[in-house]
Amino acid sequence: MLILAAVATAFVVYGMIASMLGTILPDLSKRFALSPSQNGTIASVQALGLILASLAVGPLLDNEGKKVGLVLGLALIVVALVSLPRVRGFRGILITLFLLGVGGGTVVTAANSLVSDVGQLHRGIALNLVNLFFGLGGLATPFISANLFSNNWIRLCHTVGLLTLVSLAIQIFTRMPGPTGVETFVLADAGSVLGKPLLLLIGLFLFLYIGCEVGVWNWLTRHLIAQGIPESRALNILSLGFALGLLIGRIGVSPILVHVPAITVTMGASAAMAVTTFFMLRTNRPVAALVLVFLAGLSMAPVFPTTIAIVGDAFPRMTSTAIGFVITCGWTGLAVSSRVIGAIAGGDPLRLRKALLVIPASAVLMVGLDVAIRTMLR
């Protein structure tokens, strides 16, 4: 229980930094006169950090244990959050967000791998319950910014940095299991694991999903502001709509996973995502937007942790390497979707609505991939 409590604080931190860019992007854009295309570049660079970290950290976790990854990742996040308020231009933002991405990718891979090991008898339930703390962190950042700090992004960075430091101390003083012989990374065996068609399909599935979820985190606030909704209200829609939907959805799906196969859950969630995100982009009324964004968060809630559970069940050897691979695929989806969304929007924020149709389109493709994955699992 102490381990899960420690990991929960890491998930809160990751949730807070996952919603950080979308929360501060409007103010960064005003301060440095950034266009939607430059916003897309920033999101892509952060995604590049996530990609490199998730790809590299899997073997480290298999050989040295998950605690090393948690400590390393949280330390990098602290450095990035302290540095961000001191940047002087676009290049400085890129460097700092890349570092934040490296730290975040390391933490999320280590934390999910550790929970997959500790809760292996009920992976899907354990991962969904612990990942609800991600939703809590995601809710906190835009809510605090809008209602307590009056959108003061510098103060927000310092506050989240301090909370990250607390989590880092907790990881250092918590005893965690080391690497086991069954899971140790062996370079000669990596090809047989990473080259399996099932893992590649799950990686493609997460490629599409992460592009959807983090696309909402990063772009929703700017989209709502472009539709005439005030910034503080837009941030509350992101917080009390999307993040709260993720949090409640991960609580609600746990009893369902006792009786329903994980792949069935992800299939139903993918179909719901396609519908809710499409209608989410069709309204400019704050109340309707809040309801639809909440439903979108609710539908997305079980997808990421349940997919990680599927990987853990399907790949008992070199589990961290397999999980790191599919998470890397997910961050690649974020990098690609951010560039695509930024390119379609160009220099006009009003075109974000059209650009963000990438999200429901990706959800439709996810349903097809679910069918293929189900066939392979059988």
- Indicate whether 118 pLDDT > 80: no
Better-predicted residue by pLDDT, 55 or 48: 48
- Indicate whether 185 pLDDT > 60: no
pLDDT band at 172 (very low <50, low <70, confident <90, very high): very high
- Indicate whether 193 pLDDT > 70: no
Q: Domains in the chain, please, with CATH?
A: 2-377 (1.20.1250.20)
pLDDT band at 188 (very low <50, low <70, confident <90, very high): very low
- Indicate whether 190 pLDDT > 70: no
pLDDT band at 378 (very low <50, low <70, confident <90, very high): confident
Q: pLDDT by residue (tens digit) across 125-144?
A: 878 888 888 888 888 888 89
| pLDDT, position 119 | 65
Question: Is the model's pTM score more than 0.85?
Answer: no
Q: pLDDT by residue (tens digit) across 4-43?
A: 788 889 999 998 988 888 888 888 888 888 887 888 889 8
Q: Are 139 and 154 in contact (CB under 8 A)?
A: no
